[in-house]
Amino acid sequence: MIQLPENFETYAEARKAGFLRMKELKESGRRVVGIFCSFVPTELIEAAGGTAAPLCATSEEPIPAAEADLPKNLCPLIKASYGFALTDTCPYFYFSDFIVGETTCDGKKKMFELMNDIKETYVMQLPARRDEAALDAWEKEVVRFWKKLEDFYGITITEEDVKKAIRLKNREREVMLRFLELGKLNPAPISGYEMGTRLDGLGFNPDIEERCRIIEARTEEVKKDWEENYKGKPSRRPRILITGCPNSGIREKTIKVIEELGADVVAFDCCNGTREKVEKVDENLPVTRALAKKYLNINCSVMSPNETRMEYISNMIDEYQVDGVLELILCACHTYSIEAYNVKKTAMAKNVPYLMIETDYSKADSGQINTRLEAFLETISQFK
Amino acid sequence: MDYIGIDIGSTCAKVVVMDEDEKIRHQSVQPTGWSSVDTADIIKNMLLEKGISPENGKVVATGYGRVSVPYADKTVTEITCHARGAVWLYEKKNMAVIDIGGQDTKIIILENGMVRDFAMNDKCSAGTGRFLEIMANTMALKPDALCELARKGKDVKISSMCTVFAESEVISLIGQGEKKENIAFAVVNSIADKVASQCSKMNMSSEEVFLTGGLCECSYLREVLEEKLGKPVLTKPECRYAGAIGAALCSRNI
């Protein structure tokens, strides 16, 4: 029997609706596996007849609850995600059959140990480098996860199932990439705020085909509008590349603000941007090797060394005609804040102004962030 | 035409009026008080009394209260204004500017007269004028008196970077009967340490550093900074007007 949480009646309408939607999905027989990170090969979840529910939390609401168990000085994304799990207030966590974690950053890795007491949390051991030995080890983890899904649900996942899922996810990557690459057009045809919120919203849609159709339609619409109304009309608005941590929880006080101040956010080097989308799963390699290879190549700062991220940023600056690099760091994210040193060097080497903002989900520093973003745009406009 | 720069900081509001030849016609400073809107009003009346009309001139507002000046033609951030002000004051195009203000400390790197990079203190007030003010209050001193007293002190160190904890450190030092000048020494050195650590993250290739903002009149702080940064730190009394001067200069581009 699929039950709603005890406090369900006290929830706000939007949250109630989320719970009811997920309950319906479960009642239809769909399997739900909660995930946190773009390193998890979701093709396997699809192949198991499941959907991957994104659990990275973006709200400050459950953080006080999380701080009962977790240290205060920890990444807000980790605290918020754990807080939602603890308080039964996230429908996606609540209705997940089990959770898949990965050994990416230390904060998440150790949080998963605690989360396992709330709901089974299976952890994939991600190596931190990219060489043959790491690829072999990661491929074994892919195989182990495949087996885990079969054991958990008592099913057999065939190679054909996985191949089908790979084709589907590759198509999704292509569609999402085409949407995000609208930012290469000059003048910018769509706001970065819209690109981010739209992709986030789609993550909760369990039907990948439908996600693709929605985004394809919007891409066409934006392109047509640009051809008819903006093409050939240069704009003086500075073009900004966003890089760093997942930014959904701080989008309002950074991306939205800088666009209101007169800039266009055109490019995203982050896990909710193009980073995971640029490389597809090779459909000609043996499936587990192909999956391992694709996911190991994600340019997250947990990888060491991570020069490929610098090469990627450098290319993006050219391809998206970027005037300024804005790095968004979540408080207490060691890997990104240390790697910021190299990102700044990369931007400066291309003579592109760089600004790093370290913040959390609270509004306490909105005033200071506004001043910094404004000053950053003034700095850029001296060179433009 | 009058070019009017108004810098409403968290502690003081500064006004500079320039003429066509970039000569300063008027400069004044007053406490910001609790309402920047009222302060902006008082400034307007004061200017009118002196025969300077904001309506007929060009007005740029800067500082944290920049949005509270209804008669400003434009707002510009304090980063750009301090940079332009410093270039005007020192007639140099490549330099590092340190502005120690009431609630913010800014480091600005200038190349060819343009802002190449900047940094501001994070959410916390360590290394700012507010830190000095609170410690001075605790010690029943005026901020400038604390600065002068610090020159005579030695040896004591405040290790806490948080203003609230640093204040309790100061209170325990008072309780232990530590000499006032030694505590003052610790306070000023704590500010200089924090500022120097912010500077170390920046590419300060210029030979000299220019100090602007409210604390530029504290000569002992300037000396300590010089020592910690290992290069000359220059300042002038007009430097507290650097933001307002920059704003007045910006108003010429409107």
The tens digit of pLDDT for each residue in A207-264 reads 999 999 999 999 999 999 999 999 999 899 999 999 999 999 999 999 999 999 999 9
Average pLDDT, stretch B130-140? 83
Q: How far is CA A362 from CA A34, A253, A255, in A?
A: 25, 10, 15
Domain positions in chain B: 3-79+242-251
Question: What residues 49-78 of chain B have any CB closer than 8 A to a CB of chain A?
Answer: 64, 76-78
Q: If we measure between CA atoms, which residue out of B5, B8, B14, B7 comes closest to residue B35?
A: B8
By C-alpha distance, the chain B residue nearest A344 is B117
Contact A230, A315 (CB under 8 A): no
* Total length of chain B: 254
Question: If we measure between CA atoms, which residue out of A37, A129, A32 comes closest to residue A78?
Answer: A37
CB A316 within 8 A of CB A324: no
Cα–Cα distance measured from residue A158 to residue B198, given in angstroms and rounded to the nearest whole number? 57
With beta carbons less than 8 A apart as the criterion, state whether A213 and A280 touch: no
Residue of chain A with shortest Cα separation from B117: A353
Residue with more model confidence, A247 or B205: A247
Residue with tokens 């940023």: A313
Who wins on pLDDT, B1 or A18? B1
Nearest residue of B to residue A365, measured between CA atoms: B123
Which ipTM was obtained for this model?
0.85
The token duo for B215 is: 């604390």
Between CA A139 and CA A292 the distance in angstroms is 5
What does the pLDDT read at residue B170? 82
Q: How far apart are CA A305 and CA A76, in angstroms?
A: 25
At position A220, the amino acid (one-letter code) is E
Q: Which residue has the tokens 């400390």?
A: B105
- Mean pLDDT for chain B overall: 88
Of B64, B114, B118, the CB nearest to A375: B118
Cβ-in-10-Å burial (0-12, 13-18, 19+) of A362 comes to middle
Contact A378 B104 (CB under 8 A): no
B164 pLDDT band, cuts 50/70/90, is confident
On the question of pLDDT at B163 being above 70, the answer is yes
- Helix ranges restricted to H, A154-306: 159-180, 192-202, 208-229, 257-260, 287-296
Chains A & B: contacts with CB separation below 8 Å: 41
User: Within 10 Å of residue A334's Cβ, how many Cβ atoms?
Assistant: 14
- The beta-carbon neighbor of B76 closest among A348, A367, A378 is A378
Strands across the sheet containing B12-18: B24-31, B12-18, B3-8, B58-62, B74-75
Q: At what angle do helices A307-319 and A334-349 cross, to 10 degrees?
A: 50
pLDDT at A68: 94
Q: Which two tokens stand for residue B178?
A: 């530590």
DSSP B130-157: HHHHHHHHHTT--HHHHHHHHTT--S--
Inter-chain residue contact B77 with A365, CB threshold 8 Å: no
CA of A375 to nearest chain B CA: how many angstroms apart?
Answer: 6
Euclidean distance between CA atoms A93 and A240, whole angstroms: 34
Residue in A365, A375, A379 nearest the CB of B123? A365
Flag whether residue A364 sits within 8 Å of chain B, measured between CB atoms: yes
Kindly tell me if the per-residue pLDDT of B143 is higher than 90: no
CB B121 within 8 A of CB B127: yes
What is the H or E stretch that residue B105 is in?
strand B105-111
Domains of chain A listed by start with CATH number: 8-157 (3.40.50.11890), 161-383 (3.40.50.11900)
Q: How far is A382 from chain B (nearest CA, A)?
A: 7
pLDDT tens for A269-322 read 999 899 999 999 999 999 999 999 999 999 999 999 999 999 999 999 999 999
Whole-number pLDDT of residue B123: 64
The whole-number pLDDT of residue A70 equals 96
pLDDT in tens, A31-78: 999 999 999 999 999 999 999 999 988 999 999 999 999 999 999 999
d(CA A365, CA A360): 9
Lowest-confidence pick of B56-65, B119-128, B149-158: B119-128
Q: Is the minimum CB–CB distance between B104 and chain A shorter than 8 Å?
A: yes
Q: What digits encode the pLDDT tens for the residues A129-163?
A: 999 999 999 999 999 999 999 999 999 999 999 99
pLDDT at B141 (0 to 100):
83
Say yes or no: B123 contacts chain A, CB-CB below 8 A: yes
Return d(Cα A142, Cα A137) in angstroms, integer: 9
Q: Which residues does chain A have within 8 Å of residue B120's beta carbon, measured at their own beta carbons? A: 368, 371-372
pLDDT reading at A368 higher than 70: yes
Tell me how long chain A is. 384
Cα(B213)–Cα(B131) distance, rounded to whole angstroms?
Answer: 14
What fold does the segment set B3-79+242-251 form as a domain? Nucleotidyltransferase; domain 5 (3.30.420)
Q: Which residues of B touch A379 (CB under 8 A)?
A: 79-80, 114-116, 118
Secondary structure (DSSP) of A67-81: TTTS-SSS-HHHHHH
Instruction: Name the residue facing B77 among A365, A371, A383 (closest C-beta).
Output: A371
Mutate to test the interface with A, among B93, B109, B123 (most CBs of A within 10 A): B123
> B124: nearest CA in chain A?
A365
Judging contacts by C-beta atoms under 8 Å, the chain A residues touching residue B79 are 371, 375, 378-379
Tell me which of A374, A376, A381 to substitute to probe the interface with B (most B C-beta atoms closer than 10 Å): A374
Share of chain B above pLDDT 90, in %: 39
Q: How confident is the model at residue B202 (pLDDT cuts 50, 70, 90)?
A: confident
Kindly report the nearest CA distance between residue A67 and chain B, in angstroms: 20
Cα distance between residue B126 and residue B194, in whole Å: 7
